[in-house]
Structure 1
Amino acid sequence: MSLPATTTPTTEVLIAGAGPTGLVLACDLARRGIACRVVERESRGFPGSRGSGLQPRSLEVFDDLGVIDAIRVAGGPIQRLQSWAGTTRVAEWDTFERAEPSPHVPYGEIWMLPQWRTVEILHARLEELGGSVEFGCELSGFEQDADGVTARLRGPDGTGSAVRAAFLVAADGGRSTVRKALGVGFPVTDLVTDPTLIADVLIGGVDRAHWHVWPTAPGGRVALRPLEGSDSFQLLAHFGGAGPDFTPDATPEALQQLLVERTGHAEVRVHEVGWSSVLRIKAGVADRFRIGRVLLAGDAAHIHSPTGGQGLNTSIQDAYNLGWKLGAALRGASDALLDSYEAERRPVAQHVLALTTQVFEQDRVDKDRGFSQRGGETFQLGLGYREGPLTRECREGLADDAMRAGDRAPDAPCGPIRLFDLFRGPHATLLAFGGTDAPASERYKLVRVGRPGEQGDVIDVDGHAHKAYAARGLFLVRPDGYVALATEDPADLASYEVY
């Protein structure tokens, strides 16, 4: 039975959805001491491999959240792609750029890990931080007012309850119940009307050293990628000409027949289908990411073609951008700070949507290989907020390729410690170079960066930090690792009061 209004439980943030978006946000809030509840309508965590490519920028987020070691152990580098024409090998190549770690970029290339395992790792981290997920609990409705949101929940046994929250975050996927209830426009483009089957399958007769693709297979392209930490493969099968209403048969028998017919490899054996779903490839961005005390994140705010591995990673960045802003808003920061979430993330979503659509079209043109090569622009390291409302670049005469306010704050080794070690945690960081005066403050952690022979909190032994930033100046690095303010005048710091 529903709780009477006088006994409605309260929380600071209610998160609808326990996928990577909701879990990253919950972990970030938990380490800030923000009370939150995470409700997930499914009875368990996401079971499939769907979003399996983690870009370098997302790996940096996971470093900050304390899960990078688990991610690295569980996953692996992307396999070389092997294209086939029936039983004939056609070509072998790297579909993503390979890059070694550098002083400024500690994670050089994409890291592969099935989405279900990423979810498990984030869930375990949330529990370490004192949080939990309420599985089988569905958000059935809500109302908001000037002071908060009253949400109606339905538990696994159908019992109703209510919760009062200061903010509600919709991380409930592309069919978001919350977004629809808000009436937010979500114009969507159908990139392909025919369905694509994605499934995690236990297969015999296929080598695990490559990501295999049959780009010109009869009936539609087929791809098989071995999954990390598992004996299974991720199967992608496009059904060209099948029409939007066709639902593929995902039984082991049907998939074995499909693979034999499309690849010509009669020795292939499908033993088990662990999970399957049908993709209808669409792209779209919500008209708004915030309505009052309700915010949209992840697929609830934008959906992309899966090509290029951008959708999951963009969603992780949404949560990372939003977490520190919600924390500050709940502790008295200006409402303008929370408004900056939409102002910063919606243009990024639009940019990424254009990129994924471009890559998708390149894949369609490259019929011989099935996948075009993805460049470093997919790593998400170059995304930033130079034009955002929180950004202040006060220096003049910068070189065209200079790091600017709004950019991702680069890493650099300073003796035995790295800048990312200093950034790690829920705080902002002020980097002071060249002896520039910088007052201590509760708003940030002050770190004076010196050269060898100079005084400093850390010493830039090899000059990498000075090369990345500047010979002198002050750089206020936001809690999400972007440079908010860059200046040589401490007075600019005193007047910067956004958070």
Structure 2
Amino acid sequence: METQGDAVGPDKRRVVIVGAGPVGLTAARLMQEKGIPFVLIEAAEQLSEDLRASTFHPPTLEMLDTLGAGAPLIAQGLIGRTWQIRLHPSGEKALFDLAAIADDTAHPYRLQCTQATLCRILLAQVRERGGDVRMGMAADAIEQDDNGVRVTAKAADGSTEIFEGGWLIGADGARSRVRGEVATSFEGKTYPETTILATTRFPFEEHLPGLSNVNYVWKDAGTFSLLRLPDLWRCSLYPDGDETIEDAVRPESIARKLQEIAPSDTPHIVDEIRPYRIHMRIVDRYRNGRILLAGDAAHLNSPSGGMGMNGGIHDAFELVNTLEQVIDGVSPDLLDRYTRRRRPIAEDEILKQADRNRSRMQERDPARRREMLAELQAIAADPDKARAHLLRTSMYTGLARAAEIA
């Protein structure tokens, strides 16, 4: 059965947002602040609780502050004023202290908190302010013409509903339905290794002196990372040598790897084990007429450095700020600036930087590792170099570069 959505004919001010992840919900909240009408549709009936992104960088927290979402997020997260690259088991490290950028931001730290926490905060705020959110509605058919866009969405029971508006934002993640309406290519690569996420409440901080809340670690012939959240540690592990993925995700293999990291008579009780592959891809364009992409729908990158979700939130701010001007009467051609500003930043400052981070930690040669560690220690020890490095890894450099693009 087909039913008609709210709009009777396309309201050219109304924006249809597909995807209730951090990017789509950020866009919705920003539209509320600007008085832009919207409807947000999401295929899932409930917000995802999967453990995905968990690092928020300073400029992202500043943006969320403008929506009233920064403070409640910080209250539920864990502040990390340092992060490090480390050799195991010696504990030698390059330690980066975000106090070096204290004059540049009100948030000189990384916040460790789950993506799901932000989504819950934003969704509650959107609904409290009367926002139109339709969970359990999957975008099926998408059309556009000179007057607007039309999205036919399908519910789990097979019923459909039509949503019309002037513009469509695809913020529907890595498996985006909207992407195919915009991009003619999604080029890149899939990395050969499989990452295994294991979460545990084991107190690594009591066993490994000098840990930060974010730690990227070289071990003999391999690597791992330890990221701390308020109530657990998330460990990124990899199969050993010729170990198959099936063997690597077995509880006994995870237990052995965690014992190698922090030997203990107390078991490393693991809550979750999840293998996943990492991609590095980007669309050729972010806009096709009245349809635009943001976040993972437009670009995918290695999680090393924690820039994917943050970059998607930055996309949402740039896009909505530009779309506001177009809705108020500026030529739609201004929306091409969105692609000009965000695509090269995603490619150079997010994808390539994440790729370098990943390549560095995959280095196996002990001598080269020592060289890299010495180089990083020298940067951390030099105030000017440390500030420049932290401005870039905290994503300020990319934002400043984007703002200069006309």
Aligned pairs, number: 378
Identity of aligned residues (%): 26
- Within a 5 Å distance, the mapping from 1:76-115 to structure 2 comes to 76-78=78-80, 85=88, 89-91=89-91, 93=93, 95-99=95-99, 102-115=102-115
2:126 aligns with: 126
1:165 aligns with: 165
Cα deviation for residue 181 of structure 1 reads 4.3
Cα deviation for residue 125 of structure 1 reads 2.6
- Within a 5 Å distance, the mapping from 1:50-449 to structure 2 comes to 50-78=52-80, 85=88, 89-91=89-91, 93=93, 95-99=95-99, 102-190=102-190, 192-199=191-198, 201-204=199-202, 206-207=204-205, 210=211, 211=213, 215-216=218-219, 220-228=222-230, 230=231, 232-239=232-239, 246=245, 255-256=254-255, 258-260=257-259, 264-265=263-264, 267-273=266-272, 277-352=274-349, 353-365=351-363, 375-383=390-398, 384=400, 385=402, 387-389=404-406
Cα deviation for residue 9 of structure 1 reads 7.9
Contact 1:284 1:302 in 2 (8 A): yes
Distance 1:184 1:174 in 2: 16
Distance 2:118 2:96 in 1: 21
DSSP 3-state at the match of 1:267: coil
Q: Comparing both chains, which one has the higher relative contact order based on Cα–Cα distances under 8 Å and sequence gaps of 6 or more?
A: 2
Contact 2:183 2:286 in 1 (8 A): no
Q: Which runs of no fewer than 5 residues in structure 2 stay unpaired?
A: 377-388
DSSP 3-state at the match of 1:127: helix
Distance 1:75 1:45 in 2: 19
Cα deviation for residue 172 of structure 1 reads 1.1
Letter in 2 for 1:278: P
- Distance change >3 Å, CA 287–CA 108, structure 1 → 2: same
1:19 aligns with: 21
DSSP 3-state at the match of 1:222: strand
1:268-325 Cα distance to aligned partner (Å, 9 max, x none): 332532xx54332221221010001110100111111111221111111100001122
DSSP 3-state at the match of 1:281: strand
Cα deviation for residue 381 of structure 1 reads 1.5
Contact 1:15 1:22 in 2 (8 A): yes
Letter in 2 for 1:153: A
Letter in 1 for 2:343: R
Q: Which runs of no fewer than 5 residues in structure 1 stay unpaired?
A: 390-499
TM-score (norm 1): 0.67
Distance 1:117 1:26 in 2: 16
Cα deviation for residue 135 of structure 1 reads 2.4
Distance 2:22 2:345 in 1: 18
Letter in 1 for 2:27: L
Distance 1:70 1:4 in 2: 37
1:170-216 Cα distance to aligned partner (Å, 9 max, x none): 111122111134452110123x31210224x3434644683566633
DSSP 3-state at the match of 1:282: strand
Distance 2:236 2:262 in 1: 13
Distance 2:359 2:250 in 1: 30
Letter in 2 for 1:22: G
Q: Which structure features the higher share of helix residues?
A: 2
Letter in 2 for 1:74: Q
Deviates more, 1:41-50 or 1:18-27: 41-50
DSSP 3-state at the match of 1:382: helix
Aligned CA-pair RMSD: 3.2
